[in-house]
């Protein structure tokens, strides 16, 4: 009888709202594993009360980054991070161990108050905080490891305390124990502990979200507009693109259509990176506040754009190969799936591009690509990508009835597809891998798919250039003629990390 009442209530709710929302409860899961599955989160979680807007929701709020005493300041990611002189957008806090850092650092100064308290002051910020003296025998080894030099471990812990006191978003460290602690229960999970490379990814994401498209900092600060920035990012990820494009242009009008397909690859990958940024912003926001029906709508929108961009790249590369092999098959017969399945005659007459075509076709064996095409089919059949809020927690007794108590909520895409052998169990973007469909984390899933497809696209473009006998010298993006690209070059290495 209770079930019937619930069904009536659900029907009335659906009729009133005009749509359904999916909430999937997971009971008994290891929360440490779920946090690891979700990946590094930002610090700055509210200690009590309502969570304030994060750095992606409030453009007036700077991203606060604390550099741990243990980091190597000569590390290329740390050097790139330290070069960001944008106090309104990024504040870099340096404990006393980094007192000889850059002028734009916000230096932390420590003072002794009494036996159980020590003081933190940040002159540039006009901040002063009193904190309890850490216990060197318990918490310090727990966070920074027994093997770490005790004096260094204590210094790192005090910097972490200071970071927590200012409600900072990122604590940058290279300590393996601390990096493992960030996924455990307790206070360390809410402090935004990251590697230098992960920090660079977030810093660049915040800059791009505020329309600051930085290229480099050598003699001056070099900016680009949004379109030029993402085109340059794609060309840095795929150095063979300009080599092939220049070779085709120099051959004249006979290959103009091939140039259009190649340009389409650039445009679609640029749009993919924009959608990937939107997914990343939703992902980090979800890490602070949890998922809800609004956040999964944002993920649904960006996922749709990413699906169309990724599959369009596969289709465009297929047409590029067809046109450069001087074939004129029926348009309806040309598709990436037909290339992969070798079901039509044109797939067997590609001449010197045959081996390159096989390289492209081989990626269809990847269950991730098959899932992408299943999602694309869903969109083509006029249905939206299905999403759900997934709650992880336990059951508690409430007035004699079991009630679900949530600990962590994340958004997911329901792929509508699960290959017979399942998706790769080793991947950290799969929430549920079961028939008839798999549930995946949008940001992590599209990070894996984008990274894989861009690598294959570069291999295909390099192969075509070689097969057509084009100059082996790689071309630099045109912005390199007048700008320093040192910062964006490091940024592209961090794009798909973490």
Omega of the bond leading into 378 within 30 degrees of 0 (cis): no
Who wins on pLDDT, 146 or 491?
491
Mean pLDDT of 477-482: 79
Mean pLDDT of 349-357: 92
Which of 219, 227, 214 lies closest to 489, judged by CA? 214
Burial class of residue 265 in the structure, from the number of CB atoms within 10 Å of its CB (0-12 exposed, 13-18 middle, 19+ buried): buried
Q: What is the pLDDT of residues 271-280, one digit of tens each?
A: 999 999 999 9
The answer to whether 479 and 215 are in contact (CB under 8 A) is yes
pLDDT value, residue 253: 67
Q: What is the pLDDT of residues 135-170, one digit of tens each?
A: 767 788 888 988 788 889 999 999 999 999 999 999
**Residue corresponding to tokens 């984390």:** 441
Mean pLDDT of 362-388: 90
CA distances from 67 to 18, 161, 162, 183, 490 (A): 49, 12, 11, 20, 18
pLDDT value, residue 13: 63
Mean pLDDT (the chain, rounded): 87
- Does residue 343 carry a pLDDT above 90? no
pLDDT value, residue 254: 58
Mean pLDDT of 99-120: 82
pLDDT value, residue 340: 92
pLDDT value, residue 12: 65
Cα 181–186–190 angle (5° rounding)?
75
pLDDT value, residue 400: 81
- Reported confidence tier of residue 252, pLDDT bands at 50, 70, 90: confident
């Amino acid at each position: 009888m209770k079930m019937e009442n619930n069904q009536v209530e659900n029907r009335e709710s659906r009729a009133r709202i005009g749509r359904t929302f999916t909430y999937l409860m997971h009971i008994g899961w290891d929360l440490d594993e779920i946090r690891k599955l979700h990946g590094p989160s930002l610090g700055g979680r509210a200690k009590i009360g309502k969570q304030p807007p994060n750095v992606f929701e409030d453009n007036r709020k700077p991203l606060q980054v604390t550099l741990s005493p243990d980091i190597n300041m000569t590390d290329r990611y740390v050097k790139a991070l330290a070069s960001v002189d944008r106090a309104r957008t990024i504040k870099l806090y340096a404990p006393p161990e980094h007192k000889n850092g850059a002028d734009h650092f916000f230096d932390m100064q420590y003072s002794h108050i009494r036996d159980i308290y020590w003081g933190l002051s940040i002159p540039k910020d006009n901040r002063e905080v009193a904190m309890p003296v850490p216990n060197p025998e318990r918490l310090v080894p727990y966070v920074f490891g027994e093997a770490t030099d005790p004096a260094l471990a204590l210094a790192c812990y005090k910097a972490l305390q200071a970071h927590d006191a200012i409600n900072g978003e990122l604590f940058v460290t290279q300590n393996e124990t601390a990096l493992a602690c960030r996924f455990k229960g307790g206070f360390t999970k809410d402090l935004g502990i990251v590697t230098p490379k992960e920090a660079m990814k977030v810093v660049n994401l915040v800059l791009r979200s505020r329309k600051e498209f930085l290229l480099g900092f050598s003699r001056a600060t070099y900016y680009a507009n949004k379109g030029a920035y993402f085109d340059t990012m794609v060309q840095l990820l795929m150095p063979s693109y300009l080599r092939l494009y220049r070779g085709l242009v120099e051959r004249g009008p006979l290959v103009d259509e091939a140039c259009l397909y190649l340009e389409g690859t650039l445009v679609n990958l640029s749009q993919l990176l924009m959608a990937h940024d939107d997914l990343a912003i939703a992902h980090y926001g979800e890490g602070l506040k949890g998922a809800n029906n609004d956040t999964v709508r944002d993920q649904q929108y960006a996922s749709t754009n990413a699906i169309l961009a990724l599959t369009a790249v596969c289709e465009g590369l297929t047409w590029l190969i067809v046109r450069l092999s001087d074939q004129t098959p029926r348009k309806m017969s040309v598709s990436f799936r037909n290339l992969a399945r070798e079901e039509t005659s044109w797939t067997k007459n590609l001449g010197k591009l045959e081996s390159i075509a096989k390289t492209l076709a081989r990626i269809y064996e990847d269950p991730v690509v098959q899932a992408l095409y299943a999602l694309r089919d869903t969109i083509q059949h006029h249905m939206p990508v299905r999403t759900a809020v997934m709650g992880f927690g336990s059951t508690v007794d409430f007035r004699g009835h079991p009630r679900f108590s949530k600990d962590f909520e994340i958004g997911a895409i329901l792929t509508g597809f699960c290959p017979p052998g399942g998706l790769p169990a080793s991947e950290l973007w799969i929430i549920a891998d079961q028939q008839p469909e798999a549930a995946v984390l949008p940001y992590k899933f599209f990070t894996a798919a984008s990274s894989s497809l861009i690598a294959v696209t570069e291999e295909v473009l390099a192969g075509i250039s070689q097969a057509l006998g084009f100059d082996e010298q790689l071309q630099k993006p045109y912005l390199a003629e007048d700008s320093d690209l040192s910062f964006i070059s490091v940024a592209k290495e961090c794009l798909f990390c973490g």
